[in-house]
Structure 1
């Protein structure tokens, strides 16, 4: 027997009220109608737009909204999002509640990804997120309204939090809009007086390089990043542009790396280390210097690039052993990964890997156990116990599989009846 329609609609409304896009999306995909009129005259989709969560709107919007929704309904949804955006969340909350106490604000994830974050505001019993500019952007594109690129970039640039959901929504729409007109309008922001606009363009280039390095426009985007890197004088912006250039298979990569390998800003040198692939003679010399850089993250990046070259990989091992002892915990997992996969089978490397077993970083533990298993080291037994104790077991993970298999082969795991 099918479940009553009213119950499923109530479940959808409950998921929206709880800011749960995963459940809301499953319900809509399962056939719950986001356009069903509720007793007070709204719809689940209206409530999602009102909520201020772009992730909820994406989950609830449904298929072919431009064709499914009447023009009047589309205009009302756009007007709702636009009103929140133009009025501001705090002012609109005060208008709706009449409350005068301070607004309670907290930064929260807008979905299950590690990127999309948003500010959640509560006042007088109402809770709303501040993603209405992102929602407006999503609705405009879903309804095939070609909002001017300058306006879209301005919405993204207005957010100081670079992981804000609105920025990612603008980025998503611009990545979908692949016309030459859109590209030309974006390129114009290369010289915008507001650095936030230039930072957004650099991020657009980086993400598009990741997603579509083989696209017809990849060469022109790589050309832009390469020329920009040659001219940029601001260290922060230069590092961003170099990271964007790294995502393109562009002939200017090595020249950009060599030009900035001795840059006084460590953030720039960190971006440089990834540009030296494939490795030429000049790049090898520059990378040797970066392996001895005073900045630990620069050395880590240099070690990562050096791992692709047999001679340099061996030169990187002493630096990796030092990185394993660094106090910064964020260095431990990548250092352990490079040590685990390096061809060096010396006792010093095995001891360094075993040293990670005293730490609580799950990824570092997995990498260390994997490296010990590859070396047939008896301390793989301890790695097995430690990985299980911190809950770092991942099904179908090659590192865990190697640790488990070593313990099974050595009779340390009892067969299950």
Structure 2
């Protein structure tokens, strides 16, 4: 085993998919047979991280012989069917409680990471199995994909579980009429989690149809209309909060009949379930009508922090009316740090460009959260405030941020606008 292959094996064990991806690109072999008869790819499959499997898989279908494809699928299925903790316990012989944490497997999805008997696995084998089947041309029944997606409900897992994400991905990429009909038929299922999944499938299909050049452009309008019709007919009948929240989120992607969106939002604004109320602010048409503005103001005072955070983002977009500055100030002082973070972000980009707004942003330049500090500095730049350069100096260092983060442009754009040179290259620092 050369050095690159050894490093790849270490990256797989440490759940470092980006490092593994770079090593494969640099020539490390994910299919090299190791002394124990496994391969780095097989170890990744057994490790239960779909992000790691994706990093090593590449264009695996023509690369791997059919027998090896079957071995990978069988391994994923064994772990999935037995359950990660149960199988780990049997393999290690360890007794006592497992150490379990929720790990961020990719940018948006999470999964349980289980350590027992000196060995660690992630319980994402349902997602791994789904992705391997898709890569190797195996099409399981829609019912099976849906069962994988909802398997972890009631275990403290949210809609960001890797198994759910993988099932949704495959369901909306299987472009047969039969698959789509069977998927959307789950809106009539007695299980609200399955209905919620059907709503998310419609949402994701709408998002897919919004691409500039969808693969099935000739049928785009027809499918768009069908998805929209499903949601508008379904919403009044849905009684379960979980499923209803998913429907409202999907409706935000329809982009049609905006007056109907507002009617729904006003009707649902007082729903007893906070997960439903959280979806309401995003349904209102901008600029807000008087009725919508009254509803958003009420939601800004909601007992649920997530509802207040969603509503603060909408309120900040509007030219402040009577009492709105005081309401926004209260959100900026909220006891929940997530509300404050999102309120500052929205307020920085918002419509209030008064002197008082700039002073409010200055107070956040010393916040503990570096993201809050950067949003405050960016808000000063957007208001052409003379303290912009001082603000950016105060928030540094900014840590690791994407090079294209628009907030980083505030410093050098401000200096360019004012004709002031920046020492050095003039490029925005990313830390």
TM-score w.r.t. the length of structure 1 is: 0.85
Partner of 1:222: 228
1:92 partnered with 2:87: yes
Partner of 2:292: 286
- What's the RMSD between the two structures over aligned residues? 3.1
Whether the 8 Å CA contact 2:309–2:343 is kept in 1: the answer is yes
Write the distance in 2 (CA, Å) between the matches of 1:148 and 1:203. Answer: 18
What stretches of structure 1 of length at least 5 have no aligned partner?
none
Give 1:141 shift: 1.0
Partner of 2:72: 77
Identify which range, 143-152 or 321-330, moves more after superposition. 321-330
Partner of 1:239: 245
Whether the 8 Å CA contact 2:192–2:240 is kept in 1: the answer is no
Write the distance in 2 (CA, Å) between the matches of 1:80 and 1:101. Answer: 26
Give 1:68 shift: 2.6
Tell me the alpha carbon deviations over residues 78-130 of structure 1, each in whole angstroms, 9 at most, x when there is no partner: 2111111122223322332233343332222223x1x2222222233322221
Give 1:361 shift: 2.5
Identify which range, 265-274 or 219-228, moves more after superposition. 265-274
Whether the 8 Å CA contact 1:16–1:47 is kept in 2: the answer is yes
1:199 partnered with 2:205: no
Partner of 1:58: 54
Tell me the alpha carbon deviations over residues 234-283 of structure 1, each in whole angstroms, 9 at most, x when there is no partner: 23332221111102213242332233234344443332222222558xx4
Partner of 1:136: 129
Partner of 1:177: 174
Write the distance in 2 (CA, Å) between the matches of 1:169 and 1:409. Answer: 46
Write the distance in 2 (CA, Å) between the matches of 1:120 and 1:266. Answer: 29
Write the distance in 1 (CA, Å) between the matches of 2:419 and 2:318. Answer: 37
Whether the 8 Å CA contact 1:223–1:250 is kept in 2: the answer is no
Tell me the alpha carbon deviations over residues 383-404 of structure 1, each in whole angstroms, 9 at most, x when there is no partner: 2233115648775544343345
Instruction: List aligned pairs for 1:243-392, cutoff 5 A.
Output: 243-251=249-257, 252-277=260-285, 283-293=289-299, 294-295=301-302, 298=307, 301-302=310-311, 304-305=313-314, 316-380=324-388, 382-388=390-396, 391=399
1:107 partnered with 2:102: yes
Tell me the alpha carbon deviations over residues 353-389 of structure 1, each in whole angstroms, 9 at most, x when there is no partner: 2222242232322222223234444543552233115
Give 1:224 shift: 1.6
Write the distance in 2 (CA, Å) between the matches of 1:209 and 1:253. Answer: 16
Give 1:309 shift: 6.1
Give 1:334 shift: 3.1
Write the distance in 2 (CA, Å) between the matches of 1:38 and 1:319. Answer: 63
The structure-2 alpha-carbon separation of the partners of 1:87 and 1:116, relative to structure 1 and needing over 3 Å to count, comes to same
The structure-2 alpha-carbon separation of the partners of 1:402 and 1:32, relative to structure 1 and needing over 3 Å to count, comes to closer
Write the distance in 2 (CA, Å) between the matches of 1:349 and 1:290. Answer: 20
Indicate the SS of the match to 1:60: helix
The structure-2 alpha-carbon separation of the partners of 1:345 and 1:62, relative to structure 1 and needing over 3 Å to count, comes to closer
Give 1:308 shift: 6.0
Write the distance in 2 (CA, Å) between the matches of 1:305 and 1:142. Answer: 41
The structure-2 alpha-carbon separation of the partners of 1:397 and 1:95, relative to structure 1 and needing over 3 Å to count, comes to closer
Write the distance in 2 (CA, Å) between the matches of 1:316 and 1:179. Answer: 50
Write the distance in 1 (CA, Å) between the matches of 2:185 and 2:239. Answer: 18
Instruction: List aligned pairs for 1:7-22, cutoff 5 A.
Output: 7-22=3-18
TM-score w.r.t. the length of structure 2 is: 0.83
Whether the 8 Å CA contact 2:316–2:347 is kept in 1: the answer is no
Give 1:221 shift: 1.8
Give 1:184 shift: 0.8
Partner of 2:184: 187
